[in-house]
Structure 1
Amino acid sequence: MDKGRAITLEEAAEVAALVNDYHGVTEAQAFAKKVTNKAITDIQQLPDGTAKETLLSLTELLLHRSF
């Protein structure tokens, strides 16, 4: 693809098909879950308090948000 222009609808569809064919979304979700679990483990080491609870809530929210 030419980097100097926007992609066409056909090119976008081709990229979407490739992502789907190679399970890109599933792989990305698995990776997000892995790093989120690591973040939660790290956050749990913080002292108890509002900041810790807020970070835990936001971390979970970001993992489970939908588009």
Structure 2
Amino acid sequence: MASYVLKGIRDGLLSLVDDDLGNTIDDLALPSGELSESIQSQFDEGKALRMSVLTAMWKQVVDEATVTNEGQ
């Protein structure tokens, strides 16, 4: 599992950056259900979020989102 910082949301896609290497993901879909609603609302409130991204069988999905103190 990898950890990324959420930089933006556009048209249902997340823009994420890896702090350690600077790698970006710009085409990861918002997960469905409550997690999606939570991510969107916290992002809209200006909270900094860290995403746990699970990769399996060449697919990536957000498994968890946590509020961080970064950028505050």
TM-score, reference length from structure 1: 0.29
Question: Which is greater in Rg?
Answer: 1
Question: Relative to total residues, which structure has the larger helix share, 1 or 2?
Answer: 1
Question: Relative to total residues, which structure has the larger strand share, 1 or 2?
Answer: 2
